[in-house]
Amino acid sequence: MPKRSSLPSLLFSMAALFTASLSLAADKVNFQLDWLPGGDKSPIYVGIDQGFFAEVDIEVRINQGRGSTEAITRIATGTSDIGIADIVALLQARAADNVPVKAVYSLLSQAPHAFVVKKEAGIQSVADVKGKKVATSPFTSSNIFLPLLLEKNGLKESDITLVKTDPGALGPMLITDATDVVISWLTSVDRYRSQAKQAGTELDVIPWYDAGLEFYATSVIASERFLKERPDVAKRFLSAFHKSVEFAFANPDMAAKAVNKKVPEADIPTAITTINSMRTLVYNSVSEKDGIGTITPERLQLTWQATAKAQNLNVTDFDPESVVDRRFYMEQ
């Protein structure tokens, strides 16, 4: 009876095909971005383009994202295996929900938050912001650290006038003196610079890390399941990723081109500018001391303290060490 035997035999041959393809093909890894592609995401693109992942027998698929929280959720639910997100968001998520996601590599050892001011305004430090108008967009994660920053610099929240407004309006407001200060990420400062240039003025940037806010930001995070089931793949991935990071900052134009090749919407000049503007967040005194990628207990504790303070959480309620797994990335 051919009818009866056909289904099992079909299943059998499919299974055989499947296992065969598994044993032949490279390890597949789904990589999650925390936002749309651009220069700041270039390491993963240039790593693929340069064949760094292929060298270690890994095939990477990139999933674009819409924010750190979403990236963490997608990794936690298994849509992606590994990806990037702000470690602050991960600390919050684990403190609240114990999501099965761990940080395995630190990409930005300094947070990107900064004040942008007009050069002529004469604002040189955070303390100078006293009595000024400060504009920010409603949803940026910078807002939660603002009170802490003011406190560390001897200011009170009442010392400034804070305005929340659409991100698109921030640049124009600064140029037309509708506000004295704009809160921005270092990676976006160039937008304001070019707007200011059109209007014939120049800008100054005051990074918050220079004013006492010392903590980690964007990190590589992975699902506990991925780390448990494919530890070897995770190790190989991180070594290739590290290589990609170094390559991207050594060759910004190639990195920008690699992004543009996959995602034509991301234009090359903008991507190069972004890569250069984030360089200090990766290459700085912290990474010089600890090495890029390393997450030290001390600095992690600082990060958690800042997070807990900003979010009104009890610092002792949660051990930040539970968020990290250091077994997968070792500095070469």
| Residue (99 or 234) nearer to another protein, CB | 99
In the complex, minimum distance from the CB of residue 71 to another protein, in angstroms, rounded to a whole number: 11
From residue 221, alpha-carbon distances to 101, 183, 262 in Å are: 7, 27, 23
Q: Cα(313)–Cα(198) distance, rounded to whole angstroms?
A: 44
**Is 79 or 251 the residue whose CB approaches another protein more closely?**
79
Instruction: Report strand pairing: 218-223 vs 82-86.
Output: antiparallel
Least distance between another protein and beta carbon 298 (Å):
34
Q: Using CB atoms within 10 Å of the CB of residue 200, give its burial: 0 to 12 exposed, 13 to 18 middle, 19+ buried.
A: exposed
Q: Which two tokens stand for residue 68?
A: 């750190």
**Which of 172/297 has CB closer to another protein?**
172
DSSP state letter for 60: E
Token pair of 39 as six digits = 């220069």
Nearer to another protein, 35 or 283 (CB): 35
Give me the least distance between CB of 126 and another protein, in Å please. 26
If the CB atoms of residues 79 and 294 are measured against another protein, the closer one turns out to be 79
Tokens of 169: 């309006």
CB of 87 to another protein, least distance (A): 20
> Judged by CB, which is closer to another protein: 195, or 201?
195
In the complex, the smallest distance separating the C-beta of residue 193 from another protein, rounded to whole angstroms, is 12
Interface contacts to another protein, rule CB under 8 A: 35-36, 38, 63-64, 66, 69-70, 73-74, 77, 79-80, 168, 171-172, 191, 195, 264-267, 270
Which three-class secondary structure string do you get for 206-229?
EEHHHHCCCCCCEEEEEEHHHHHH
- Nearest distance from residue 303's CB to another protein, in Å? 25
Give CB contacts under 8 A, 24+ apart, made by 265-273: 265/37, 266/36, 266/37, 266/38, 266/39, 270/38, 270/39, 270/190, 271/38, 271/39, 271/42, 272/39, 273/39, 273/190
Nearest Cα neighbor of 240 from 26, 15, 8, 20 is 26
For the bound state, the minimum distance from the C-beta of residue 139 to another protein, rounded and expressed in Å, comes to: 12
Listed residue (85, 87, 86, 150) closest to 115, CA to CA: 150
Per the CB < 8 A criterion, the answer to whether 92 and 311 are in contact is yes
Q: Please, which residue, 143 or 195, has the CB nearer to another protein? A: 195
Rounded Cα distance, 51 and 209, in Å:
35
Q: How far is the CB of 269 from another protein (least distance, A)?
A: 11
To the nearest whole angstrom, how small is the minimum distance from the Cβ of residue 100 to another protein?
A: 14
Phi, psi of 102 (to 5 degrees): -125, 150
